[in-house]
Amino acid sequence: MSLTLAVDIGGTHIRVAAFEADSITPAAHTRTKSLAKTPGVYDRLVKAIESVWQEGNIAAIGIASPGPLDPHRGVILDTPNIPEWKNFPVAPKLSEHFGVPVFLDNDANLAGLGEWQYGAGVGHHDLVYITISTGIGGGVISHDQLLQGFHGMGAELGHMIIDPNGPPCGCGHNGHVESFSSGPAIARYVTEQLKAGQKSSLQADPGLSAVQIASAALEGDPLAISAFERAGHYLGIGVANYLAIFDPSILIFGGGVSQVGDLLFKPFKESLRRHVFHPHYLDDLVITEAALGDNAGLLGALALARMKSKKT
């Protein structure tokens, strides 16, 4: 029986798993440090794949990677997580090395694909997946198709501009959803307020995290509560735009910041109701948590390879 390999490339780890047909339980699995800032990431990737490789028994490889990237050509354009990979043809190089088809896409896109195929989105035909953590990413399924776009760079949901005069995003532009509602954005807001003299149990600290702010909010700290109210408010504006564009039947939220629950999602839902173009978008709309956790990207890479292999 042939196997499909799924690869999830992160700034901290590279994960590779081999799956038998119709299974989402790995027949073999490895995890290795990516050492993304250190030269030699590609060589470490190859070794990780070789560690689970079964000669003559692999049908295809799917790869989830940070972007920006071009999935049509299998090229990573310029990912901040891996500085040495600029216009790097990772999929063609691996395909030549291993002699099998290799398919690449953005990790957030593939997390959405994984949730649609194997997780919280099973049974839905139009889906928006949003991950909220260090950044904000997204994946969109429209009429049972993963939305990629002409350049393969569609569904960069975190980089929708909702206030051109807003704070800087990690990408260098201003006023993106990510610049208001990601973990670092929440921490930056709190730090700015503390420096401006706002009273709080929190201290201005370069290491201040959304987790610490959530703990303070649960203990009743007004500044911490307001930070999540602000993040939820702007997230609601962004998602109101997504509803107007994609009209999904389900919104799935993943990522560490999404685990704070009502601190974020109560103001988010209030904001969404205020800003949505028409209330009919909310009728029967499912809003739920991701089901696959850290495996979403890996299983999305598996789904991509399986789907693409059937078409070739």
Tens-place pLDDT, residues 171-223: 899 999 999 999 999 999 999 999 999 999 999 888 899 999 999 999 999 99
Report the pLDDT averaged over residues 273-282.
Answer: 98
pTM equals: 0.95
pLDDT, tens digit (0-9, with 9 covering 90-100), for 53-98:
988 899 999 999 998 999 999 999 998 889 999 999 999 999 999 9
Amino acid at 102: V
Mean pLDDT of the chain: 95
pLDDT, tens digit (0-9, with 9 covering 90-100), for 214-252:
999 999 999 999 999 999 999 999 999 999 999 999 999
Flag whether pLDDT at 100 surpasses 80: yes
- In sequence order, what DSSP letters do the residues of 44-106 get, joined into one string? HHHHHHHHH--TT-EEEEEEEE-SSEETTTTEEEE-TTSTT-EEE-HHHHHHHHHSS-EEEEE
Taking a C-beta distance cutoff of 8 angstroms, is the pair 273, 82 a contact? no
To the nearest 10°, the Cα dihedral for 11, 298, 19, 55?
A: -30
The reported pLDDT for the residue numbered 169 is 94
| CA separation for the pair 127, 114 (Å, rounded) | 11
* 3 state DSSP class of 19: strand
Query: Which domains does the chain show, CATH number per domain?
Result: 3-106+294-311 (3.30.420.40), 120-290 (3.30.420.40)
The reported pLDDT for the residue numbered 1 is 64
